[in-house]
Amino acid sequence: MRIYWLEIKRVLKSRRSIILLLIALLMSAVMAWLPVTFEDINQYGEDGNKVAELNGLEAITYKKSLRSINNGEVTPERLKKALNTYQSAVSPYGEDSIYSGDFPVGLYMEKVFPVGSLLGRLPETFSDPKTGQATSLMNISPDKLDSFYEQTVQHLKDIMQMEQKEHPTAQEQALQKYTELKTPFQLYAGYSRDAFDYIVLYIFLLVILCTAAATPTFSNEYQTGSDSILRCTKHGRSRLAIVKILAALTILAATFVICISMHLLISNLAFGPECMKTSMQMLFSVISLPAINLGQLQAVLAIGGLISLLATISFTLFLSAKCKDSISVILIAIVMCLLPIFTYSTGANWLSFILPSAGIGMQNSLLYQLTGFNYLHIGQMSFWTPCVILAAAVIEIPVFLLLAIRTYCKHQVA
């Protein structure tokens, strides 16, 4: 235990580690605040003239004040009332007028904008079953909304038939998982999809920074020659390797937890904690499979990010024990972090989701896999990609750690 604490102190006193940790902390606040700065809206008076241009927190507060009337359960009755309000307001002017700027501003802010978040999933739900093309709100009969939740199931069947036509097992799994959702959905308008994009991006950058911090764990001592001295000591073999690995994992895991917690805290306070009760299906796709709300989605992304971080760091520690210089380690490790992004861009395949860093990135990230319907197949078996990402990472953590210890010990013998 004494060696463990000494190793932690040694790492924390490193200028390189301090700089990387400070950058990670600074980025957690900056990237949580950026989506807030994107929020803007014009405030209009009763005469339809612009009173003020609101940005940031003021814009968020004003938007929520207009839409809060629709907060709560998304029942068919509330959807019918909102759709009737929308169609009554838009019908005299035509829906195109909203996008061309010809629609009366005062009427838009009074009737259309408040119901926007509540009706946002209807065009998708009632989309063309053959093409998946969204339907105009003006073409949806309010009477159809009595069977809104039955229609979401039908829409999922249509989508799975298009995307997984040759894999009936995947279709059955998706439909079975969708039955676990609690209905009616919950809606507390205010949170932005951009904020989730920045969570994903921040996790990706945080993993890059932690990977860079882990690269010199073994290779730096190979370069300086201090390893030749350490391996002559009483505990200079496997025990030293285990201690160095545990110290690195402790520091980097703690850094991730602190930074992502700070990021989510700032984001949630800015947009409003009550928004976290919103069903995932009301912000993303109405047929998203996870039966969770936005707060639980944040937790899943944070835990998934931590697992991917540990898998990536474990692989980096193995490289550090294998290579004789830190430059080679960091180059290979960074390429490994970026590789899932490039492999996914060429088409979803097993390689995109079994690499240590498969859960981080952009379109290949855990968030977009949770909202999508990508399945991997082996014969008649189908596997949902989020499950593959997490399962692969959990398996890789002990495998690469054991390889790191074994490689370090063999290096000592050489």
What pLDDT, on the 0 to 100 scale, is given for residue 134? Answer: 85
Residues forming beta bridges with residue 187, ordered by sequence position: 72
- Stated pTM of the model: 0.90
What pLDDT, on the 0 to 100 scale, is given for residue 5? Answer: 81
What pLDDT, on the 0 to 100 scale, is given for residue 413? Answer: 44
CA distance 112 to 283: 18
Give the pair of three-digit tokens for residue 39.
């929020």
What pLDDT, on the 0 to 100 scale, is given for residue 103? Answer: 86
222-243 per-residue burial string, b: 16 or more CB within 10 A, e: under 16: beeeebeeebeeeebbeebbbb
Q: Which amino acid is at 90?
A: V
For the chain, give the longest Cα–Cα distance. 87
Reading the chain (414 residues) residue by residue, the pLDDT tens digits are 677 787 777 777 778 778 888 899 999 999 999 999 999 888 877 666 667 788 999 999 999 988 988 899 999 999 999 999 999 998 988 888 888 878 888 888 888 999 989 999 999 999 888 887 888 999 999 999 999 999 999 999 999 988 888 888 999 999 999 999 998 999 998 899 999 999 999 999 999 999 988 888 777 666 555 555 555 555 556 777 788 889 889 999 999 999 999 999 999 999 999 999 999 999 999 999 999 999 999 999 999 999 999 999 999 999 988 887 778 888 999 998 899 998 888 877 888 899 999 988 888 899 999 998 889 999 889 899 999 999 999 999 999 999 988 887 776 544
